[in-house]
Amino acid sequence: MARIDLKGWMPVDAVVVDGRPGLSWMDMTGADFAEPFFQQTVDRVRAEHPEGEERFTEFDTLVQLEKTFDSVAPTGFIFHSSRCGSTLLANACRAITGSIVLSEPPAVDKVIARFVTDVDEHGTKEKLYSVFLRAIVKALGQRRTGDERRLFVKFACCSVAQIERIRRIWPNVPWVLLYRDPVETIVSNVQNLPAWLLDEDRRVLATITGTSIGAVAAMTIEELCARAIGSFYRTAHLVANDRALLLNYSQLSVAEIAKVMQFFGVKPAATEMEIIDRQSQTYSKSLAATRPFVADAAAKQRAASDRVREMADRWAGEPYRLLEQKRLEIQPS
Amino acid sequence: MTSTNLTTGKHVVVTDFDGGEGILVDLNTKRYYQLNETAMIVWRGLEQGKSIGEIVADFMSSYEVEPDRATLSVQRLLDSFQIYKLVSAK
């Protein structure tokens, strides 16, 4: 069987071509994942190499190649309930020498979504997608310079619903869940609508909210967001164990980030801590890293409409309280 | 010891999952097969060129099962691998 040579290539998206599900690969040789999100790096590489070839393969090629990848094993996972400081944490991981940070790579998040959108009664597909997910992370975690020693993966917020499945694939990898007061989270999402709330394929959100596609379509953004984040809090409360660290946005500081690093088994050097300190003073999602960070909890609270408060209270208040309680019980400050 | 006279297909890729289970990918047909722990023991045995007797012994070291029953199970799995063209004659 001829082996396909995709050395230096990475799966940048999970796609369906002519009815065949698979991966879109790009030559990422020499590419530095410096941007806050993986997709931004892909966009940059595309812009820099407009002549660059992209290839489609079905998933069987990925399984075939999995054993050939020289990859870094995952060091830590970052989950979040959206708009709660996870990008800042991912950027901090990037400051650690020899680290690869995969921030919400589309191929990862789309395969995780298939746990919901493509199921069979025997659970075979679940196992298949677990194998694909493991292999995609391995493909994305390939050493490119030879010096990489740590791999951090930040998942998209909807992946919180699949923590249990992800944990089965990597049972020993420590993970942190960042979350934030529901009112502030909803206000942030309503002010600047994210793609996950606008997803036209409503099966994932229907599963997360425990409703139906029709019900999701009929919900206001405030209700949908409140129910989704309420579900994230509930899942985290259920599955958090000794491999998990719960971190509230209100706690975020350079000292707390250092604690997260320690939890991941990393002891940052003084120079790395300086970089993290500098990063924490700028807006984490800014490509240029020049926009100063402004604490906005109070402003978000002031901006909350009655509807936001009502939805937050009805759908997310109790699970948030329980999650906070669990954090304080298992991780007293 | 009786040889299986079978070898795993070059067109088949195996990957471990969840402890002892595995997934086989037939690169010719693009079909996937989920193997339980028992089937994986047989598959690994074939990969290592073991005889039926050796595979049965592996089987019995993992499960409390009578030799006749173990042999029957191994033979059935070998038959299945042949039916799906996942193995070929040596």
pLDDT of residue B19: 79
pLDDT of residue A237: 97
> pLDDT tens digits for A38-67?
999 999 999 999 998 899 999 999 999 998
Which positions ≥6 away from A143 have C-beta within 8 Å? A70, A71, A72
For residue A303, the tally of other CB atoms under 10 A from its CB is 15
Which DSSP state fits A294? -
Which positions ≥6 away from A171 have C-beta within 8 Å? A243
Question: Which of A63, A130, A134 lies at the smallest CB-CB distance from B13?
Answer: A63
* pLDDT tops 90 at residue A2: no
ipTM: 0.83
Are B30 and A60 in contact (CB < 8 Å)? yes
Mutate which: A1, A23, A57, A118, vs B, most B CBs within 10 A: A1
Distance from CA of A12 to the nearest CA of B (A): 22
Q: Cα–Cα distances in Å, from A308 out to A199, A231, A314?
A: 21, 16, 10
CB-based contact A148:A51 (threshold 8 Å) = no
Here the tokens at position A97 are 């020498």
Distance CA A289, CA A281 (A): 9
Q: Are strands A150-154 and A74-80 parallel, antiparallel or unpaired?
A: parallel
Q: What are phi and psi of A145, to 5 degrees?
A: -110, -15
pLDDT of residue A283: 65
> pLDDT tens digits for A154-194?
999 999 999 999 999 999 999 999 999 999 999 999 999 99
Distance from CA of A3 to the nearest CA of B (A): 11
Here the tokens at position B56 are 């049965």
Measured between alpha carbons, how far apart are the two ends of chain B, in Å? Answer: 16
* pLDDT tops 90 at residue A319: yes
Query: Picking from A81-90, A220-229, A294-303, B5-14, which range would have the lowest pLDDT averaged per residue?
Result: A294-303
* pLDDT tops 80 at residue B3: no
Q: Which of A81, A73, A30 is nearest to A52 (CA)?
A: A30
Here the tokens at position A270 are 């003084």
Distance CA B4, CA A120 (A): 34
Q: Which residue has the higher pLDDT, B65 or B18?
A: B65
Distance from CA of B1 to the nearest CA of A (A): 31
Angle between helix B67-83 and helix B37-47 axes, rounded to 10 deg: 70
CA atoms within 13 A on the CB side of A246: 27
**pTM of the predicted model as reported, rounded to 2 decimal places:** 0.91
Farthest CA pair distance, chain B: 37
Q: Which of A264, A256, A268 is nearest to A76 (CA)?
A: A264
